[in-house]
Amino acid sequence: MRELKDLVDVARRAAERAARFLRHTTPPNTSEWGEKGRHDFVTEADRRSEELITEVLTHDVPDSVVVGEELSSRAVRTGEVVWIVDPLDGTTNFVHGYPQYAVSIGALVRGTPQVGVVHDVRRDVVSWGASGLGSWQDERRLQVSALAEPRHALVGTGFPFKDLSVLRRYLDQFAAVMGGASGVRRAGAAALDLVDVAAGRFDAFWELSLAPWDVAAGVVLVREAGGVVTTLDGSDDVLQHGSIVAGNPTLHRWLLDLLKAT
């Protein structure tokens, strides 16, 4: 347990360093945006944030491996401790000045996601979780919602903006969820969406196309807050490029069944 808390502390220091840099960075103008793919932007702020994070993680845990979205996404995920980092989750929000973006750092320990830290940059709020230690925000323990009635549920989502080939399926799912829940929200930063599930603000969440660094930290937070996270196929292995469904146990099952039937 002490070892995991040490890893949490390292991840928090790294995330704080990057968040401080991002808070004091002016969003670039459009001529400075890079585009990795359709609707998928990257800036020098993303790259510098990842460099700052990597320096802390590799200094404090020298034998660890860092897999990050911008600098090392092709790194092999093997080793005792493997960090999976999104240095700026919500880049599109960041470049438009929309205050919903975060630094996300997850840690695999012997191949299993066991530590997660999400730093909400604009609000300067840190959420963290570790296997067996629960999920926390400052001194408040996080707990998924107890709501059990779908028609009362508030559900988070993300649009498949990088993979428009699944848009038709997603729109059918969106219509089904809208018909069964009280509301659907999309803010554009999956790490913060998963924090909202862990904190009980969202009763459930789904997205069809996410990368490991989008969810590595948030998965730990939701599970340690009493929630369930799977792929759309029901697999617990969500650290692939693909779908994710999260929620409290009752509404996760409802949402999963609804999405699979759509």
60 shares its domain with 126: yes
Is 167 inside a domain boundary? Answer: yes
The range of the structural domain enclosing residue 202 comes to: 150-260
Please name which of 103, 98, 100 lies closest in space to residue 88, comparing C-alpha atoms. Answer: 103
Is 225 inside a domain boundary? Answer: yes
Confidence of residue 138 (pLDDT cuts 50, 70, 90): confident
DSSP result, 132-175:
TTEEEETTEEP-------GGG-EEEE---TT-GGGHHHHHHHHH
Question: What is the pLDDT, as a whole number, of residue 40?
Answer: 46
Residue for token pair 């554009």: 188
**242 strand-pairing partners:** 210
Please name which of 70, 63, 108 lies closest in space to residue 86, comparing C-alpha atoms. Answer: 70
80 shares its domain with 36: yes
105 shares its domain with 15: yes
* CB-CB contact of 91 with 46 (8 Å): yes
* CB-CB contact of 135 with 129 (8 Å): yes
Q: What tokens appear for 123 in the block?
A: 């609000």
Is 145 inside a domain boundary? Answer: no
pLDDT, tens digit (0-9, with 9 covering 90-100), for 171-186: 999 999 999 999 999 9
100 shares its domain with 162: no
Distance CA 11, CA 191 (A): 15
Is 24 inside a domain boundary? Answer: yes
- Specify the CATH number for the domain of residue 27: 3.30.540.10
Can you tell me the mean pLDDT for 206-217? Answer: 96
Question: What is the pLDDT, as a whole number, of residue 42?
Answer: 63
Can you tell me the mean pLDDT for 128-142? Answer: 96
Can you tell me the mean pLDDT for 78-106? Answer: 94
Question: What is the pLDDT, as a whole number, of residue 162?
Answer: 80
76 shares its domain with 38: yes
18 shares its domain with 131: yes
Q: What tokens appear for 66 in the block?
A: 């860092």
Is 212 inside a domain boundary? Answer: yes
Is 47 inside a domain boundary? Answer: yes
Name the strands in the sheet holding 183-185, side by side, starting at the edge strand that comes first in the sequence: 183-185, 154-157, 204-210, 242-247, 228-230
Domain boundary among 86, 121, 140: 140
**84 strand-pairing partners:** 67, 106
132 shares its domain with 155: no
Domain boundary among 99, 115, 140: 140
13 shares its domain with 128: yes
User: Taking 60 as the threshold, does the pLDDT of residue 155 lie above it?
Assistant: yes
3-state helix, strand, coil in the chain (%, to 5): 40, 25, 35
158 shares its domain with 255: yes
- Count of other CB atoms within 10 angstroms of residue 132: 10
Is 193 inside a domain boundary? Answer: yes
Is 87 inside a domain boundary? Answer: yes
pLDDT, tens digit (0-9, with 9 covering 90-100), for 28-71: 666 555 554 444 456 888 999 999 999 999 999 999 999 987 66
126 shares its domain with 238: no
Against a cut of 0.85, is the pTM above it? yes
DSSP state of 27: P
pLDDT, tens digit (0-9, with 9 covering 90-100), for 105-122: 999 999 999 999 999 999
Can you tell me the mean pLDDT for 192-221? Answer: 97
Task: Tell me what percent of the residues of the chain surpass a pLDDT of 90.
Answer: 82
- Count of other CB atoms within 10 angstroms of residue 231: 17
Distance CA 1, CA 130 (A): 9
Question: What is the pLDDT, as a whole number, of residue 44?
Answer: 86
Distance CA 52, CA 17 (A): 7
Handedness of CA 43, 117, 73, 209 (dihedral sign): negative
34 shares its domain with 124: yes
Considering its fold, how many domains does the chain have in total?
2
Question: What is the pLDDT, as a whole number, of residue 74?
Answer: 54
Domain boundary among 94, 120, 140: 140
User: Taking 60 as the threshold, does the pLDDT of residue 73 lie above it?
Assistant: no
* CB-CB contact of 226 with 127 (8 Å): no
Question: What mean pLDDT is reported for the chain?
Answer: 92
